[in-house]
Structure 1
């Protein structure tokens, strides 16, 4: 009986916290299936007559068929680039003793303090000098450089918790330092890599201000541009905006559901320490 009471004391608050976290998603889906009038009245928590046409209008009027593939491309390319650079940089900072390592860490921390919009002008001038403004490549390169500092710190913390005996055993078997990293250390860092992929993927997916700076062509914009089509003080379409938001959030939710075990394992193993 005491065990049941103890379990209830533990699980009841957790269930309530989970419901509170899921309620905004429920409200998003419920509001996306209502008419504008009923949404403003708030008379129906669960719509009696779901308006599935809201999703069709959101897809067509928001041009999500153009913007959604753009965001998928930008997110995949940026996350892959961030993982490649941050994994090697984090391993070097965690394992290799060299002069100036503390200075490198200080620079990384200093970069994280600077607000992202403060660097937009410098990034635009740099991309302009290379002829990469209004191009997918320039946008992805800036996204990669913006995500490397935090990802490097996360990966450094993860590699620092792995025993050094692994590299020594690999060296005895004839592995070079790079092959030991690629074949032994990196597979063990999979939870940390997935944790970084989720964090940076969310950052890239939700990015919009930088796209406004670099892009002149509307067809190159990310999915957040489609959401802005329904933000207007004159003709507010909140129900259509909610439908567009649900569509844009679906890929992120699917990815997180598939990778949630690795994310939790990466956090508990020290990826965020």
Structure 2
């Protein structure tokens, strides 16, 4: 008897009667976030800026699928019939396969060298205290102020003395040395914003400085490394002036040399030039889309201090 009453009381406490309002209450639907009136103008401005930035890309893609008469007439933004032959002509007549492979090799090698040097240099400037540290940082800033064309003569003279003119190695070294100053400052800012506790704990466990840098610091610095890789990758991919000065062999030229093949006053081929430009920017866009989250995180973390 006592057991049944206890069970009844227990069940009654656990389950509310059907008429109980608590039992019949359904979950509230999620509330929609209201857009405040003062943000409408901001959102409209951002949308307008995005469309302004995307319009040249859309026009380039549309023009690459038009015939020369359609492109020069300017009557239609979209082609009547997509003319895919422009891409075939750009790839075969412009020898874009050779130029594109050269640019991929130069960019990947240069970015790898910049990441190795700038990560170590940035870590030393952020963590190690030594005499002349402020002066070295000032020199790096001063080098960044000098325009790249102003250093061409000195760089070419140095490569000439080293017998590295008209060579892939000489061009890659120029790309690496040109990107190290900015990349070093970005990595230094990123390392300064990171706490020291993990490094101190690893040092107490007996890890060497090289082990701490390779096993702890570099994995944490992945967003910063991605930001540097994209920034310096774009610089290396778009570089053309030094290649024009350094190379005598067209087989060593980057992709920008292939674009100039269709820029002729005698035989204008603007539609083929646009197709070649689309081909040249596709690798950059794909790489940026894959690394954009790390870019934002890296630049944001580096801007904290």
Shorter-chain TM-score range: over 0.9
> CA separation in 2, counterparts of 1:90 and 1:2?
43
Which stretch of the first structure deviates more once superposed, 117-126 or 95-104? 117-126
Residue equivalent to 1:101: 133
Q: Deviations over 1:124-143 (max 9, x none)?
A: 11111111111111110111
- Contact 1:58–1:241 (CA<8 Å) still a contact in 2? yes
- Residue 4 of structure 1 is aligned with which of 3, 20, 35? 35
In the alignment, the residues of structure 1 paired with residue 93 and residue 303 of structure 2 have an alpha-carbon distance, to the nearest angstrom, of 41
Distance across 2 between alignment mates of 1:218 and 1:2: 58
Change (3 A) 1:126 1:2: closer
* Contact in 1 for aligned 2:187/2:302 (Cα 8 Å): no
Deviations 1:170-203 (A, max 9, x none): 1112111121111111111100000000000000
Q: Compute the TM-score of the two structures, normalised by the length of structure 2.
A: 0.86
Show the counterpart of 2:284.
252
Alpha-carbon separation, structure 1, partners of 2:226 and 2:115? 9
Structure-1 residue corresponding to 2:188: 156
> Within 5 A, what are the aligned runs for 1:8-157?
8-157=40-189
Residues 140-219 of structure 1: pairs in structure 2 closer than 5 A: 140-219=172-251
Tell me if structure 2 keeps the 8 A contact 1:154–1:196.
yes
Residue pair 1:167, 1:180 contacting (<8 A) in 2 also: yes
What residue in structure 1 maps to residue 13 of structure 2?
none
Displacement, 1:234? Answer: 2.5
Contact (CA 8 Å) 2:114, 2:180: kept in 1 or not?
yes
Q: Give the unaligned 5+ runs of structure 2.
A: 1-31
Aligned to 2:29: none
Q: Tell me if the contact between 1:33 and 1:239 (Cα under 8 Å) persists in the aligned partners.
A: yes
TM-score, with structure 1 as normaliser: 0.95
1:225 to 241, 246, 257: 257
Looking at structure 1, the residues matched to 302 and 141 of structure 2 have their Cα atoms a distance apart, in angstroms, of: 19
Equivalent of 1:242 in 253, 270, 274: 274
Tell me the residue number matched to 2:298. Answer: 266
SS at 1:260 equivalent: helix
Larger Rg over CA atoms = 2
Are the aligned partners of 2:193 and 2:304 in contact in 1 as well (CA < 8 Å)? no
**Is this contact kept in 2: 1:32–1:243, CA < 8 A?**
yes
Q: State the 1:12 CA deviation.
A: 3.5
Question: Number of residues paired by the alignment?
Answer: 273
